[in-house]
């Protein structure tokens, strides 16, 4: 009898060992497909990222960049383009950033923040700035104002805005998640090559203006990039791409022919090329960056 019980126990153990993995397989449902990841891209600033100026674009650079991210990383990119079509200057963006709770919340939830500011703070200046002047005058008067600028007053103007850049970049860095990719677009020179200058009688004054504009960008953009990088931003140097390494080349077909200010279809594609070349570290395979 004892042998019979021992045999039955052995058979029961064998059956349990055989049945356990099968029962587990039956009880465990098949793994569901991995849910598609969505990341948030927030664009803020002046009208350079504002899509409506490019009359021939199927997708301006913010949306183009988002689509390229989707293709590269196999995910969905939700875009909040909060850039402005109202000649916004740095002070305007500071007010917007401080007062719009919806924008602050979008930045808190952002995986990528893209900002373009400073384009509308280049010469000609307002009367309350160190160089003085007025932008609301004829093109001949604008040329005259810029031609008479001194490096001293332009240096003082740049210093005046350094703290503003520092505030904006630090505020965004504080709001954004630690993993977020922060990108700052530097302004380019849309004076160089503007077709209307050919009609100005005093070409010596045009040359003097262009010299001062070149000086401005060569000193403004490094200040902006330094402030950006101090706060964890990557600086995307549009000036070097649109105007050449030394800043002397006209932007040409990279700008809309209608206003020679905003990026054209080719200009938008060029900016998207620059952006997608920057690795999104938190999306890259570990050890590949």
- Residue 178's Cα: distance from chain center in Å? 17
Nearest to 105 by CA among 167, 42, 45: 42
Instruction: With beta carbons less than 8 A apart as the criterion, state whether 194 and 260 touch.
Output: yes
Question: How would residue 127 be classed by pLDDT, with cut points 50, 70 and 90?
Answer: confident
Q: Tokens 């923040």 appear where?
A: 113
- Tally the residues of the chain: 289
Mean pLDDT of 44-69: 93
The per-residue pLDDT for range 191-221, each reduced to its tens digit, is 999 999 989 999 999 999 999 999 999 999 9
Question: How would residue 51 be classed by pLDDT, with cut points 50, 70 and 90?
Answer: confident
The per-residue pLDDT for range 65-85, each reduced to its tens digit, is 999 999 999 999 999 999 999
Phi, psi of 38 (to 5 degrees): -120, 135
Q: Look at residue 289 in the predicted model and tell me its pLDDT.
A: 55
Instruction: With beta carbons less than 8 A apart as the criterion, state whether 126 and 134 touch.
Output: yes
- Structural domain boundaries in the chain: 38-120+160-279
pLDDT at 274 over 60: yes
Torsion angle (degrees, nearest 10) of CA 169, 170, 173, 178: 140
Question: How would residue 2 be classed by pLDDT, with cut points 50, 70 and 90?
Answer: very low
Q: Look at residue 15 in the predicted model and tell me its pLDDT.
A: 43
Q: Look at residue 22 in the predicted model and tell me its pLDDT.
A: 43
Q: Look at residue 283 in the predicted model and tell me its pLDDT.
A: 94
- CATH number of the domain located at residue range(s) 38-120+160-279 in this protein: 3.40.50.1110
More confident residue, 270 or 287: 270
Record the tokens describing residue 130, joined without a space. 């160190």
């Amino acid at each position: 009898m004892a042998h019979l019980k021992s045999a039955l126990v052995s058979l029961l153990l064998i059956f349990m060992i055989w049945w356990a993995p099968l029962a587990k397989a039956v009880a465990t449902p098949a793994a569901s497909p991995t849910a598609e990841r969505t990341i948030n891209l927030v664009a803020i600033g002046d009208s350079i990222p504002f899509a409506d100026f490019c009359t021939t674009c199927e997708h301006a650079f913010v949306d183009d960049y988002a689509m390229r991210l989707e293709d590269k990383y196999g995910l969905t990119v939700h875009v909040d383009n909060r850039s402005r079509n109202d000649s916004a200057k740095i002070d305007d963006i500071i007010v917007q950033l401080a007062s719009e709770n919806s924008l602050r919340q979008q930045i808190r939830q952002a995986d990528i923040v893209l900002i373009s500011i400073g384009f509308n703070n280049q010469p000609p200046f307002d009367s309350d700035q160190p160089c003085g002047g007025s932008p609301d005058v004829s093109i001949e008067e604008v040329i005259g104002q810029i031609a008479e600028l001194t490096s001293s007053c332009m240096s003082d103007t740049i210093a005046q805005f350094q703290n503003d850049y520092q505030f904006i970049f630090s505020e965004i860095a504080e709001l954004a998640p630690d993993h977020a990719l922060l990108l700052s677009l530097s302004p380019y020179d849309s004076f160089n090559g503007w077709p209307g200058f050919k009609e100005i009688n005093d070409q010596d004054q045009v040359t003097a203006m262009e010299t001062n504009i070149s000086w401005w960008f060569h000193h403004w953009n490094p200040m902006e990039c330094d402030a950006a990088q101090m706060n964890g931003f990557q600086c995307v140097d549009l000036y070097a791409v649109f105007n050449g390494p030394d800043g002397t080349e006209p932007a040409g077909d990279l700008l809309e022919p209608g206003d020679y200010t905003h990026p054209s279809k080719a200009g938008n594609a060029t900016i998207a090329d620059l952006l997608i070349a920057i690795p999104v570290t938190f999306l890259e395979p570990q050890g590949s960056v």
